[in-house]
Amino acid sequence: MAPTNVNEDLRNERTKCNFNVEELTNLLDDGKINTNRRRDLEEKVLNVKGIRDEIPEDYLSHKEKYENAVRKSVLLYKALREYTDTNIPFDEKIRANLRNSIPAAIVKDNSPFMLHSEMFIIAIMGQGTDEQKEYWLKRANNLEIMGTYAQTELGHGTFLRGLETTATYDANTEEFILNSPTLTAYKWWPGGLAHTANYCVVMAQLLIKDKSYGIQPFMVQIRDEETHMPLPGIKVGEIGPKLGFNTVNNGFLGFDHLRIPRERMLMKNAQVLKDGTFKASPNSKLAYGTMVYVRVMIVNTVSKYLARAVTIAIRYSAIRRQSQPKPGEPEPQILDYVTQQHKLLIAIATTHAYHFTVRWLWDLYSNVNKDLNRGQLDNLPELHALACSLKVVSSADCTALIEKCRMACGGHGYMLSSCLPLLYGVSTATCTYEGENTVLLLQAARSLVKAWHQALKGQPLSPSMSYLKDKSPPTSWNSSLDGIISSFQRVARGKVSASVSALEQYTASGLSPEDAWNKASIQLTAAAEAHARVIVLTVYKAEVEKRAATLSSPLRAVLYQLLELYFIFWTLEKMGDLLLYTKLSETDIRGLQKKYEDLLEIIRPNAVGLVDSFDFRDEILNSTLGAYDGRAYERLMEEALKSPLNAEPVNQSFHKYLKPFLRGKL
């Protein structure tokens, strides 16, 4: 039920909106029925007794925040299990999760249970045999056990072959012996590992008779199921405070010759027989399915973070009035300043771009997974390259725009109660976890270089890279959406070509292939990013067009305005590349700049309606600045008065330290 006491400026903004907000909400929810399901679930879960904080978390100690997060996570998971249809197929559950923002509302800095469902269960599903899945998934889904996923180590992250944790097979006892031979071999970062999980999937170097058989997954119990005490041979704890995710309970884990049964190796892809015979996986990358899944989910996660941030910033910009450019007239809303529109409207368009892209990417992931189950591996390399590159650009773009939203709110955006610092803290982490962005760009670049050589030989390319075969010369600039996509393809093609040429030149000069790759790496990462831009532009346009016919004319017009804004924004951002590789001229640039400014003016009246369509409840936004009623100043004061320092007029530090200091008695 909408509040009645709404800020007048915000109320007026909503009357300007020329499209049906509910229609857009239904579209973003993948249908009206899903909107109703989501709202019903939110209403039930958010009204569970004790699930919402009475005292702001910001005033709790680090230990208290974790304990409160566990308390609320238990209530949350119970509520989700009670109110969610357990008969929904797995694919539809994931699609529902794409729409679900409830966990972020309950545990603001993320739940210590998050890796249980997002990685532990997914790892079992992707890497366990049918027998292993039957046993472990039942226990995990019934919450008989709590798990996490331990891959990253203190000394190694993205470079998986460098992991030092060992799992040595003892054929005499049919056991694996897990060991952390060095300090840098300690597992470091897994969420929930420190004090929450009692099991984890551990990625370790498999050793059989002193020979390494690569990184393999092992199911390891780390705590007693009754007492929760760490088991003998286990050293586990928390890694300490971080920029964000401070309630996730990130931990470290070391092994001192811990023995586990042979059956605890997850053996869907590779197996170790009783006598120590190793049966290799048909493809070494099959073991990395969990990471690919999480990278796909990151695209969705960061778009949700940005949607929350821009909702806060747009609503605040509608009620905030500042300066007096015209003497004698009222101070304008800061949303009327074109510079503010430039900061924020692209954030709405970017949210839409990745919202639609992740749905396309999820469908691709689902199809490749089905192929893998049939033994077909042909499309796995393309999925890997796409997941790498799209994880990079989505995390980088959304994080940068969240920070822009915070700065667009001035000093009040710096307040923790605005929720913008928290959103930045959790979003910027996505640039590092599940593959540091530069490393992932270089992985994608390897696929592009390989595809380039295939194209030169006339061999077929994967659909997402097929444009690399086009060798036609550049024509005059075409400012249509298809023309802009073609121009970005030309940029990516040119950058891949330049990277390959650089590699060949460095190799010819006497450098080893590895040193040549390192020296060309700046060009290679730029080529991979350019390829990612092609994918996002292409998919965003295709996904909007696919839905356009079913939409009302006003909504269709707004979606195309955002689409065009996004295309022109990135054209202007990548002006230098386009000048280098296409026929873009100064006249074209001036025309694009004028079109961009016109689009800002056209979209401006719909700004509040567009963020309202994200349909975030106030409890989910958790923001003094972004509430639906626009009472930002009142909420800021209400939150300020909750500070424990305001409980007494004179703090004890005055008499203990300040008064003697002021009177020269120190």
- Catalytic site positions: 434
Annotate 512-525 with DSSP letters as a single string.
-HHHHHHHTHHHHH
The set of residues, in sequence order, having a beta carbon less than 8 Å from that of 367 and lying 6+ positions away, is: 379
* CB-facing half-sphere around the CA of 399: CA atoms within 13 A: 19
Q: How far is the C-alpha of 188 from the C-alpha of 235, rounded, in Å?
A: 12
Angle at 356 between CA 350 and CA 362, to 5 degrees: 125
H/E stretch holding 548 reads helix 521-548
How many other C-beta atoms can be found within 10 angstroms of the C-beta atom of residue 349? 25
Annotate 401-464 with DSSP letters as a single string.
HHHHHHHHTGGGGGSGGGSHHHHHHHHHHTTTTTS-HHHHHHHHHHHHHHHHHHHHTT----GG
DSSP state of 332: P
Angle at 579 between CA 577 and CA 580, to 5 degrees: 65
Q: How far is the C-alpha of 121 from the C-alpha of 140, rounded, in Å?
A: 7
The set of residues, in sequence order, having a beta carbon less than 8 Å from that of 637 and lying 6+ positions away, is: none
In the numeric block, which tokens belong to residue 206?
A: 């498999």
Q: How far is the C-alpha of 11 from the C-alpha of 608, rounded, in Å?
A: 10
Query: What type of residue is 644?
Result: P
Residue position matching structure tokens 């401006």: 604
Query: What type of residue is 186?
Result: Y
Characterize 448-461 residue by residue with b for buried, 16 or more Cβ atoms within 10 angstroms of its Cβ, and e for exposed: bbebbebbeeeeeb
Question: Among candidates 322, 316, 314, which has minimal Cα distance to 633?
Answer: 316
CB 243 within 8 A of CB 429: yes
